[in-house]
Chains A and B, each alone.
Chain A
Amino acid sequence: MIPAVLICGYLGAGKTTLVNRLLNRRSDRRLVVLVNDFGGINIDKDLIVDADEAVISLENGCACCTIQNSLGDSLDAAQAMRPDAIVLEASGVALPQKIAAFVDGWPGIRLAGSITLADCLNLEALLTDKFVAPLVRDQIRGSSRIVLTKEDLASDRGLEAVSDCIASLNPGAAVSIGSSSLVVDELIEGIEAGADVPAHVVSHLAFDTATFTATGTFEREGLTMALENLPKDVWRVKGFVYLDESKGSARRHSVQRVGNRTSIEPERERAPSPISENSVVFIAPKGLIDLAKCVAIFAELISRR
């Protein structure tokens, strides 16, 4: 039977980031990843290996409406690709217990584990949100493994408060902080095996995208201003920019924005590149705004010195 790992958590909890990290590892096993949310996993080809475009969607619904059974079809499609393991990114409104029961009982598949991601910055707000508080509570309660994400942006006190909150909701859970490669390693460990084969992503999109590309280096202030000036309808920003550091050197930074939250993080050491190539992808719902114009304004602002 093929082992499957389930990644749960509300919208913005960091599921896509974790999936990206999984896919970017050089690994011995061949993964098929089922992606539910409109996160645009395969947008940034620099972050993703060998993306596949089949449509897979994992939906809620009662049996009468879901007789067509898209999750089951998706699992069958995934199995047919003969992977060493399957990773499912659950819908942001899915209950881990429910999907776990589904996956664990599906012919040919056994559940290796499920993990719920919780965004440190947003968790407390979600737990009082008028629409999703009970759902987010149940998502925390529904996995034996909780990972706190965006910990780098939380204060120590904030982190403590969130940890306490999780401990009170799900006292038995193994809680780790940071959706780092360590967590990815631990997640993978249960399903490890095989040779160095790139992973496959299965996803679908309903977005406009536009890409800013440039060579050269930029200043952090310019980048920050350029990001702040983007209209809120730009849902996601992801990519990398070379930022000036002391003594005339520059370092590649990973740039991410989800909703209001922006992160600019130095990447680990890379082989020096003679040309600093920058690339930032902008994602917005199809047809809502003029992304080309956004990119033009972004290009202007980021270049200010």
Chain B
Amino acid sequence: MTVNDEKLTIFPARSIITMERAMPRASAIAIKGDRIVEVGSIETMQPWLDNRPFEIDDRFRDKVIMPGFIDPHLHPSMAAILLNMHFITALEWQLPWQRVPAVKTPEAFQARLEELVSKDAGREPIFTWGHHPIWHGEVNRAGLDELSPDRPLIVWHRGYHSLVVNTAALKWMQIDEDNARRHIHVDLERGYFCETGLSVAFRSINRYVLDKERFTAGLERLKQVVHLGGHTTIGDMATGMYDFDLEWGSLKSVFERDDTPFRIDLIPTHGAFGGRGGPPNDEQLDAIVNARSMNTHRLRFGNQIKMFSDGGFFAELMQLGEPGFIDPLHHGEWLTPPETFEATARAYWNRGLHVHVHCTGDLGLELALDTLAKLLDERPRFDHRFTIEHLGVSTPEQARRMAALGAAASVNVYYVHELSDSFYKHVLGYERASQMSRLGTLMENGITTAIHSDYTMSPAMPLFNAWVAANRITEAGTVMGASERLTLDQALQTITTNAAFVLGRENEIGTLRAGKYADFTVLDADPYDLPIDELKDIPVHGTVFEGKPYDLPR
């Protein structure tokens, strides 16, 4: 090895937040290649500097360095579809190529649509995402026809529940009008498709949105989104949800490149290799375990599997225990029959995999915990990393049981910001709505707890989501479930240390210490110097991934 390979780079900083208990703060960090050599001060590093060539890189001298942010649960494939659409949303979204302003009235929505149609001279159909009747009123075919007589216009609901199209779009989608007219979830006059009627629309739209080139372009956009949030590691928490080969091929071609400032842990979804309807057979288990042989530098399959208990939270399809939903006729959904869930989890458990379970309601969580208890009884394991994903509605007793059973948590806390107010009024009532995503109780029980965006369910903005975790402020500006708020320390753990644990990478990332990857998120301000309700406003200056700085465009 030549001496030059041994050359160190020292980054002095205004402050370094290591997230390490033994040395929480530092003023300089020394790296060699992709690894951290020492954290401390220039003075304490002297023995290294006396014995190795080094250079001092001053670019972060007035910045604050944190461990690279980790989002253990988002969906690149879903994002790839959505990021090709125009966002018109009730809440503000920060995208790398534009700040999407909050559009809160029907008039503003119309104006934005008009602007899109008039600005975009192309011939492609125009898709928008984010429509919500509470803010934007009703949109219908006649209104859209007026805006856009010739160009297909497709307005997709924020919660993915419905879409509204104009006449040109109906034609483009080759919708058989007689057929559509008899469908109870299609209102042709209004150009409206909802629930099961959506599938009729997707039948034509899929060819377009899942087109490989377009899908790849969407992933390129996702790359910018992930960088903008300050991430250096993300988890694709359901690889194979649409089509494993399409996803893997596209992910590899887009992300296994030097311009990608992050790595992706891929967690295959149950059924990624076939057999979604029942427990995996040997061949499917082998395929999951052997996926590791495909690993590249940035893309890595590990020892994990994703399963689903109950339905989606935004879609209000979570399974609730007593007293259920305010609407007595509304019920949640099981994505997996309870018996099948157990048999499937058993097959993965017995194969030694770490099981990650999508649970949104307390009953969905109960199924996961009952199953975990049985599996532990049948074949005890320590450090099994059985992880509850999302955790919308739960009880304090369940948190305690999670601790007793050794489960970890990866929580979507953004639910509190966007949904708790409307769920309070329409879905759950105040008590349960105010306690959704109960991070405080989880932490109090000593459960390793991370947060995630589930992008595109929530913005892929770790500081924003940590801000929600620490403040629980709704979009209406009220505080929901104040006692479930996290301290700043805890909130930062959920996007670093604990997120690394949830991905099984705690030895490599999540804190700054000698030996770990040199992954940094570089901030313009120190979160500990500001009031906690300003956490979301701290600008991310850029990132360092495996020792290489990636500035964000100013």
Contact = CB atoms under 8 A, between A and B. Distances in A.
A205 B183 CA distance: 32
A91 B279 contact: no
Interface string B160-202: 1100000000000000100110111110000000011111101
A55 B274 contact: yes
A37 B333 contact: no
- Residue in B199, B243, B284, B338 with the greatest tally of chain A CB atoms within 10 Å: B199
A71 interface: yes
B281 A102 contact: no
Residue of B198, B278, B350 with highest tally of chain A CB at under 10 A: B278
A212 interface: no
Contacts of A106: 199-200
Interface stretch (A126-134, A219-227, A239-247): A126-134
A85 B88 CA distance: 44
A59 interface: yes
A107 B200 contact: yes
B317 interface: yes
A68 B242 contact: yes
- The contact size tier of chain A is 35 or more
Most buried by A among B78, B277, B281: B277
Among A11, A106, A131, A138, residue most surrounded by chain B Cβ atoms (within 10 Å):
A131
B183 A72 contact: no
Contact of B179 (A93, A107, A132, A287): A107
B241 to A, nearest CB: 6
Interface stretch (B220-228, B339-347, B519-527): B339-347
Interface in A29-46: 36-38
A250 interface: no
Most chain B Cβ neighbours within 10 Å, of A38, A205, A286: A286
Contacts of A271: none
Given A102-B199, A105-B200, A131-B366, A62 B277 contact: no
B182 A93 contact: no
Contacts of B280: 206, 286
Given A37-B277, A287-B347, A64 B183 contact: no
B376 interface: no
A61 B198 CA distance: 12
Contacts of B315: 62-64
For the complex, would chain B's binding face be called helix, strand, loop or mixed by DSSP majority?
loop
Contacts of B337: 10-11, 91-93, 132
B93 interface: no
Nearest to A98: B196
Given A286-B279, A287-B347, A60 B334 contact: yes
A59 B276 contact: yes
Interface-central residue, A63, A68, A286, by most chain B CB under 10 Å: A63
A139 to B, nearest CB: 11
Contact of B202 (A67, A207, A285): A67
Given A63-B160, A207-B281, A285-B347, A72 B203 contact: yes
Nearest to A73: B203
A286 B209 CA distance: 36
Contacts of B176: 107
A104 interface: yes
Nearest to B271: A57
A204 interface: yes
A193 interface: no
Interface in A89-116: 91-93, 95, 98, 101-102, 104-108
The residue among B182, B183, B282, B339 with the most chain A CB atoms within 10 A of its own CB is B339
Contacts of B311: 60-62
B317 A101 contact: no
B485 to A, nearest CB: 29
A63 B274 contact: no
Contacts of A206: 275, 277-281, 284
Contacts of B160: 62-64
A298 B548 CA distance: 65
Nearest first, the 3 closest Cβ-Cβ pairs linking A and B are: A105-B183, A286-B281, A38-B278
16 contacts: A11-B339, A63-B198, A65-B78, A68-B241, A69-B199, A69-B202, A71-B199, A91-B337, A93-B335, A101-B183, A130-B321, A131-B338, A132-B337, A285-B281, A287-B282, A287-B285
Interface of B: 78, 81, 160-161, 176, 179-180, 182-186, 195-200, 202-203, 206, 209-210, 241-243, 274-285, 311-312, 314-315, 317, 319, 321, 324, 331, 333-340, 343, 346-347, 350, 363, 366-367
Given A59-B277, A207-B278, 8 more contacts: A11-B339, A63-B161, A65-B78, A69-B199, A92-B337, A93-B333, A208-B281, A287-B285
